[in-house]
Structure 1
Amino acid sequence: MDEYAVFLRGVNVGGVTLKMAEVREAFAALGEGVHTLLASGNIVLSSDRGAAELKAAAERTLRDRFGYDAWVVVLSRTELDQIVSACPYPADDGSTHSYVTLGSDPAALDALWEATGPDSPGDGTDERRRLSPMALAWRCPKGATLESPLSKATAKPKFKATTTTRNLRTLLKVQAAFG
């Protein structure tokens, strides 16, 4: 069995309200050791399914059980570890928030990258950094998240089905949940 992190898009915001205990119960059919973290839709589990099959099964399960147009991003434990390790930003900082936008389609993440500005200068003032084909990190001043270019872009319909964003602290909690 392989270990996976499953990130649900848009739950417990915008009218889609899910109880994580019910999500955990629904995901029991998809793998073993199902554990949910926080109310934002973060799940770790072990499964015999490959990542693509698990993604399809998770979206189908959420649609059937909870009746909403569900989208998820599935990462292996190794992929999550690599993404967290590659992030150059601090998890906690007094003046900024550090986020990671995860994608299930590298081409969509490429389009998001292109739509949100020039490449990072690499001089420590970077606002964003590509971490992998499946992830990009970005930071913004506290209180300005919703006004940031990446936050605005990921809200557009063309990115909703393939991306979801978590703060770095959440990814560290998900990573730790693997034990």
Structure 2
Amino acid sequence: MKPDVKHIILLRGVNVGGRTIKMADLKTCMENGGFRNVITVLQTGNVVVDAGKADSEKLRLRVEKLLGDTFHYPAKVLALSPAELETVIRGYPFQNPGPDVHRYVVFTEKGFEETLAHQAPPLDASVEAVSPGEGVVYWRVRKGQTLDSVFGKYMAKAAAKQFITNRNLNTLEKILAKCG
């Protein structure tokens, strides 16, 4: 038997825009797909699994097929190791955000983060800021303005053409804590 190795799976577009997958059903799907110690985190398609020594790309393809076959939609996911997620979290560049700010990490396909960060329309620094990282764009935005902000609107258009999924930094920290 392969040794247990933790992996984090982030689903794109779950429980938004009319696509609803109950986390209990997601957990059952993953277990039926051969994953062990399946833990879902919150209701936004975050899963921690034991999957042996799986390559992230092969794992991504395996999970996308499993989800597509089970829930009948063109599934898109991101597969990360706990170490990769920890690196992303530690890379968040905006310090002391205050209580009126959301801290997000926007995951992209490798290379698209630069385009996403640098081709966005001019941003109002009093509302939001972005900074590219490796495979991610870090985003700070004032609470209540996420969807109406310049970057929020730009990102929604870009998501139609590229793989983009975002998570609040607090959510990512909760996911990492489940990897214990």
Select the residue among 25, 28, 38 that pairs with 1:25.
28
Q: Match for residue 44 of structure 1?
A: 48
* Residue-by-residue CA offset, 1:63-113 (whole Å, 9 max, x unaligned): 11111121111111111001111113369732211110012x212223212
Aligned length: 171
Residue 119 of structure 2 corresponds to residue 115 of structure 1: yes
TM-score, with normalisation over the residues of structure 1? 0.86
Distance of 2:19 and 2:169 partners within structure 1: 23
Select the residue among 155, 161, 168 that pairs with 1:158.
161
Distance of 1:76 and 1:171 partners within structure 2: 12
Select the residue among 132, 143, 151 that pairs with 1:130.
132
Select the residue among 106, 117, 133 that pairs with 2:110.
106
Q: Match for residue 72 of structure 2?
A: 67
Residue 150 of structure 1: SS of its match in structure 2?
helix
Residues 117 and 64 (structure 1), Cα distance of their counterparts in 2 relative to 1, 3 Å cut:
same
Cα deviation, residue 50, structure 1: 1.1
Q: Match for residue 175 of structure 1?
A: 176
- What is the percent sequence identity of the aligned residues? 33
Distance of 1:96 and 1:126 partners within structure 2: 9
Residues 92 and 11 (structure 1), Cα distance of their counterparts in 2 relative to 1, 3 Å cut:
farther
Cα deviation, residue 118, structure 1: 7.0
Distance of 2:153 and 2:50 partners within structure 1: 34
Residue 129 of structure 1: SS of its match in structure 2?
strand
* Contact 1:20/1:39 (<8 A) preserved: yes
Distance of 2:119 and 2:64 partners within structure 1: 27
* Residue-by-residue CA offset, 1:10-62 (whole Å, 9 max, x unaligned): 11111100010110111122422111011100011121321101111111111
RMSD: 2.3
* Residue-by-residue CA offset, 1:108-134 (whole Å, 9 max, x unaligned): 223212222579x9xxx9712223x22
Unaligned runs of 5+ in 1: none
Aligned partner letter, 1:127: A
Distance of 2:135 and 2:61 partners within structure 1: 17
Unaligned runs of 5+ in 2: none
Aligned partner letter, 2:149: S
TM-score, with normalisation over the residues of structure 2? 0.85
Residue 147 of structure 2: SS of its match in structure 1?
helix
